[in-house]
Amino acid sequence: MTGPLQAGERVLLIDAKRRRHLVTLVEGGAFHSHAGVLAHEQLIGHDEGRTVRTTMNQRFIVVRPTLSEYVLEMPRGAQVIYPKDLGPILILADVFPGARVLESGVGSGALTTALLRAVGSTGHVTGYEIRDDFANRAQRNVEAYLGPDQPLRVEVRDVYEGIEERDLDRILLDLPEPWLVVEHAAASLRPGGILLSYLPTIGQVAKLREALEESPFGMAESLEVLQRSWHVEGQSVRPDHRMVAHTGFLTHARLLVPEAP
Ligand code: SAH
């Protein structure tokens, strides 16, 4: 979205202590906090990026959330994939405009949102999610950020039991036992297609790599992404004391065509 802020949109309000609040703009609405009241009318019809003041003269910056900010603030059922991993996932799985993608599980829809943006209006994402409450929550989260009528279909089903789609370009997995999906993925991807799996523990990675080893998949790689933020204030320029030291490992592989005997 560009242009002046409109009713129905979500905005991020950031206070002097850099605390963030995700707020949906409503005609006649108000945002109440310890810092006083902010009428939505002060925001609707105006540009993002402005600083506005509450009834208690406290400052808030108002911006439209980036995808990364939205993912961190949106309502969660399941744990989401963090922005530090979402970016590399899109590149490692080479998700392109027009791609036909299958994702499982869908969880809170963080990766789904990133995928939909990357495949664009000519692509398509199918999500398999075993829990219907998560499937619904994810669809609401996706639409709240990207708007309605996305090229997305979420099905409540167990991906371990098989994948119906054929000729897929990409398959992305964020679930505990991806080795149970390797055979289904080999049948559902087109030759050269990419499988990517996000896993929290290295034992799971080893087990997945073994399954990939015995499959038509090749060119497998596993890695983790470390992101260290820095404190920059005058002469005090150093790494922050705290960092998110671990989220998950990424494993990706390509579906190869077996050599003719
Ligand atoms: N990547 C998501 C989070 C996924 S959490 C995000 O970024 O928001 C893992 C999800 O996988 C959970 O919602 C869980 O219900 C689902 N799941 C676990 N096993 C599954 C299976 N066999 N088939 C489909 N979904 C499954």
Q: Which of 72, 84, 106 to mutate to test the pocket of ligand 1 (most atoms within 8 A of CB)?
A: 106
Best of 139, 154, 174, 177 to mutate for ligand 1, by most ligand atoms within 8 A of CB?
174
Contacts of 102 (CB under 8 A, 6+ apart): 125, 126, 127, 128, 163, 165, 168, 170, 171, 172, 188
Question: What per-residue confidence (pLDDT) applies to 75?
Answer: 83
How far is ligand 1, taken at its centre, from the CA of residue 194, in Å? 19
Q: What is the pLDDT of residues 39-48, one digit of tens each?
A: 999 999 999 9
The predicted pLDDT at position 76 comes to: 85
pLDDT at site 35: 92
Q: 202-231, pLDDT tens digit by residue?
A: 999 999 999 999 999 999 999 999 999 999
Report the CATH number of the 10-65 domain: 3.10.330.20
pLDDT digit string, tens, across residues 100-113 = 999 999 999 999 99
Cβ–Cβ < 8 Å for 231, 237? yes
Structure tokens at 159: 């991906």
Mean pLDDT of the 15-39 span: 94
Share of the chain above pLDDT 90, in %: 95
Residue to mutate (ligand 1; options 67, 76, 116, 130; most atoms within 8 A of CB)? 130
What is the number of other CB atoms lying within 10 angstroms of the CB of residue 75? Answer: 11
- Tally the C-alpha atoms within 13 A of residue 104's C-alpha that lie toward its C-beta: 28
Give 237 Cα–ligand 1 centroid separation in angstroms: 40
Check residue 1 and give its pLDDT: 83
Return the H-helix or E-strand segment holding 218. strand 217-224
Ligand 1 atom 21: the closest Cα is on which residue? Answer: 158
Which pLDDT band, with edges at 50, 70 and 90, does 78 fall under?
Answer: confident
Q: Where in the sequence of the chain do the CATH 3.40.50.150 domains occur?
A: 69-255
> What is d(CA 180, CA 184) in angstroms, rounded to the nearest whole number?
8
- How long a stretch of residues is the chain? 261
Q: Give the pLDDT of residue 254.
A: 98
**Which CATH code is given to the segment(s) 69-255?**
3.40.50.150
Give the atom of ligand 1 at the shortest distance from the alpha carbon of 76. Answer: 8
Q: Cα of 192 to ligand 1 centre, how many Å? A: 25
CB 174 within 8 A of CB 196: no
- Indicate the pTM of the whole model: 0.95
Nearest ligand 1 atom to the CA of 161 is 22
Q: How far apart are the first and last CA of the chain?
A: 55
Measuring from each residue's beta carbon to the nearest atom of ligand 1, which residues come in under 6 Å?
78-81, 104-105, 107-111, 128-131, 134, 158-160, 174-175
For the chain, give every residue range classified as CATH 3.10.330.20. 10-65
Determine the pLDDT at residue 11.
Answer: 96
Q: Does the pLDDT of residue 260 top 90, yes or no?
A: no
Residue nearest (by alpha carbon) to ligand 1 atom 4 = 107
